[in-house]
Structure 1
Amino acid sequence: MKPALERLGLTLPEVVPPVATYQPAVRSGNYIYVSGQLPVSDGQIVATGKVGAEIDVDQAYDLARLCAINGLAAIASVVDFAEVKSIVKVTGFVASAPGFNAQPKVINGASELFGEVMGEAGKHARSAVGVSELPLNVPVEVDLIAELNVSGTTYLA
């Protein structure tokens, strides 16, 4: 994973501290459950507003990508990446202006980042959901589930 991140010119940030009473990621058996990640960089929310109004699809795509990077950082706070077998499930929430229905295009930012970083192990099931509001007025939130490798074989690039 680290070579793939470096090749893409990316580094994992510090884990975004929770804004309420929860953990950024929790291990349960062979899975890591990652709480909803917001578009935060250097401790600051990058953008606020509704997609399809204040935020356009391209900007929201980039924000979903940032959420995914923050999700990887949350995983790294719980386990060594050599233990990660794959990303199993991604759920993306898009704060949508009335009439906006391109949520899948937005959440592609997260899905494509996982594929770039993890190759085949980044392919996952997914939901892209339009909502009226998200915490702190962010336009995008992404949560995910990762499966851990129990055989000792590393699956990531």
Structure 2
Amino acid sequence: MSASTQWESNLTRLGLTVPPVVAPVAAYIPAIKTGSLVYTSGQLPFVEGKLTAVGKVGAEVTVEDAKQAAQWCALNALAAVHDLVGLDEVVRVVKVVGFVASAPGFSGQPVVINGASEFLGEVFGAAGAHARSAVGVFELPADTPVEVELIVEVR
């Protein structure tokens, strides 16, 4: 199997496909390419137009539900990359930045963003290993518990 189709078979194995790009809700574009890098805008955990969770992690949202939301965010970020350049062009995931709307005292942001990181490893194998930030914040758009952005290297 060629490297360019590995991501697709890995998504299929996970029971997933690349969704349509989530339409921007403000003045930005979903992804932009500069040189050999694609930067995505922050992506929310939308599935078929609906948020998979709302509220703060550690209060209304469990860690497990937030990890799943982080995976949906990462899949939506891949959709933005795919729409711009095609996932066949991805050489590696360079960085993941994850934001977690956190209840007071919640400090498990790295565990939540593992949902995105582990998913990217499942999709891209070794090329999915990346640098990362997991940041706790007070509020995120639309009361979502998680937002994820990617930087990927492309051919």
When the two structures are superposed, what TM-score results if normalisation uses the length of structure 2?
A: 0.94
Structure 1: gaps spanning 5 or more residues: 150-157
Counting aligned pairs with the same residue, the percent is 58
Residue 46 of structure 1 pairs with residue 52 of structure 2: yes
| Cα distance in 1, alignment partners of residues 19 and 88 from structure 2 | 18
CA RMSD of aligned residues (A): 0.7
Post-superposition offset of 1:29: 1.0
Q: How does 1:1-157 map to 2 (within 5 A)?
A: 1-149=7-155
| Cα distance in 2, alignment partners of residues 130 and 34 from structure 1 | 20
Post-superposition offset of 1:89: 0.4
Structure 2: gaps spanning 5 or more residues: 1-6
One-letter amino acid of the counterpart of residue 32, structure 1 = V
One-letter amino acid of the counterpart of residue 116, structure 1 = E
Post-superposition offset of 1:7: 1.6
Structure 1 SS opposite 2:84: coil
Q: Does the 8 Å CA contact 2:40/2:151 hold for their aligned counterparts?
A: yes
| Cα distance in 2, alignment partners of residues 54 and 137 from structure 1 | 11
| Cα distance in 2, alignment partners of residues 82 and 72 from structure 1 | 11
Q: Does the 8 Å CA contact 2:53/2:66 hold for their aligned counterparts?
A: no
| Cα distance in 2, alignment partners of residues 80 and 102 from structure 1 | 33
Structure 1 segments (4+ residues) deviating >6 Å = none
Post-superposition offset of 1:44: 1.3
One-letter amino acid of the counterpart of residue 132, structure 1 = F
When the two structures are superposed, what TM-score results if normalisation uses the length of structure 1?
A: 0.93
Post-superposition offset of 1:111: 0.1
Post-superposition offset of 1:3: 1.3
Q: Deviations over 1:98-130 (max 9, x none)?
A: 000000000000000000000000000000000
Q: Deviations over 1:67-112 (max 9, x none)?
A: 0111111100101222110000000000000000000000000000
